[in-house]
Structure formats: C-alpha cells, structure tokens
Chains A and B, each alone.
Chain A
C-alpha cells in the first residue's frame, strides 16, 4: 500500500530563510504525489502535484518540490520564507486501487515563520 512519511512535525524558520519540508514515500508503482497546505481553521488547499511529467514541480506561492526516485523523496522547498507561509503542510500519495482520487496523507508538518 502507498504511504508517505513526513519528517518533523514542527519546523521553524526565520523570515527570508529557506523552507525545507521533508516527505518520503512508499509505493509499489510510480506514485502520484501531492503537497497540500492548511491555514488555521480552513480546509486543505493544493500546493502542487507530481504526475511523472517532470521531476521538478512548481506550485503556488513560490513553493516547489523535487521527485527523487532514488531517495523515494518528494521534499517541499521555498527559497525565502514569508510570514504568510505559516501553516500546516501535508504530503499525500494517491492510491492505485479503485476510482477517484483517494489520497493517503502524511501526519503533517507545522511551519512556523519567525521575524
């Protein structure tokens, strides 16, 4: 079964610093991978998705992620953190059985941005 592991439940960075949120996946087939963001008291929003077209995926708000098969990783990065990036981030992998877009989510990483 597909699964994702997010390393670090809390990450703190200074404003302007690099953001790196880690996600490793386990999948028996080429995976579809996603990063979602959740702002306080809101539902999740899609940041970006990997569907095998390109290993470097650019998303919204300046985020990007690189798919590395050799490392089974899909880490999320942003060159310069902004206060508005403070949120919880979830990595997810799409299941291969059944219809629809059933996603298995990681446990989430809370990003704190400090002045």
Chain B
C-alpha cells in the first residue's frame, strides 16, 4: 500500500470555525490531490498540487484553500466551515502526469454542525 496518512480521521466542528486537514505521503510523489465524496456526486476535485508551492483549483474549490510547503505534506483548509462542507475528504497522490494511477488515503470524515 502507498504510504498516505490523513489526519484527523474524524472531526466534528462548528459552523464558522477554520479547519485544517492534513495529508502526508512517504512516496515522494510529485502530484497530490484533495477530493470530497458526497452521496450522489461521487468524488469531486477540490484542489491539487503539482509540486512544492505549486497548486491549482479543482471543480469545487470555493471555501477551501491549500498549501504545500514540503513534498510530503498537502494541507486543506476550510477557512470558515459551513454545513455544506460536511463530507468525506480524500487525499490522493500520483507519481507522473500521464496515465499514472492515483493512490488514495483512507479519508477524513468531517461533520460541520
């Protein structure tokens, strides 16, 4: 299994508070991604990174920011959490930019009350 660790695994927070989710990899892969999974929507890309300090938006980036100061860490921040951001968040990594497969973490269940 690819070395991907997401933390925390579960979090409950209140509306309006900032939240940071962490993804840590030990594979030295260049590309990292944050997806959210919601019933009826599958997985949707929030942000991705193609290198240290190089990030770009996905299809559902509003209300989220990311940072990547080291190859191994990719942080997702909900600047002011809302109930619509209650979801399961998955981090993924890939080595190349061609048709390389994604390796997924085990997910973070976030509940915003």
CB pair A105 B42 closer than 8 Å = yes
With A41-B106, A102-B33, A102-B58 known as contacts, the answer to whether A34 contacts B97 (CB < 8 A) is: no
Q: Mark B97-113, 1 if CB is under 8 A from A, else 0.
A: 11111101111000000
Pair count A-B, CB < 8 A: 69
Interface residues on B, range: 20 to 34
Enumerate chain B residues within 8 angstroms of A42, measured Cβ to Cβ.
106-107
For residue A27, CB closer than 8 A to chain B, the reply is no
Q: How far is the CA of A104 from the CA of B90 in the complex (A)?
A: 14
CB pair A99 B50 closer than 8 Å = yes
**Which A residues contact B (CB, under 8 angstroms)?**
6, 9, 32, 34, 36, 41-46, 49, 51, 90, 94, 98-108
Report the minimum CB–CB distance from A58 to chain B (whole Å): 15
With A44-B90, A107-B40 known as contacts, the answer to whether A100 contacts B101 (CB < 8 A) is: no
With A43-B90, A44-B102, A100-B97 known as contacts, the answer to whether A105 contacts B44 (CB < 8 A) is: yes
CB pair B99 A101 closer than 8 Å = yes
Across the interface, name the chain B residue whose C-beta is closest to A9: B40
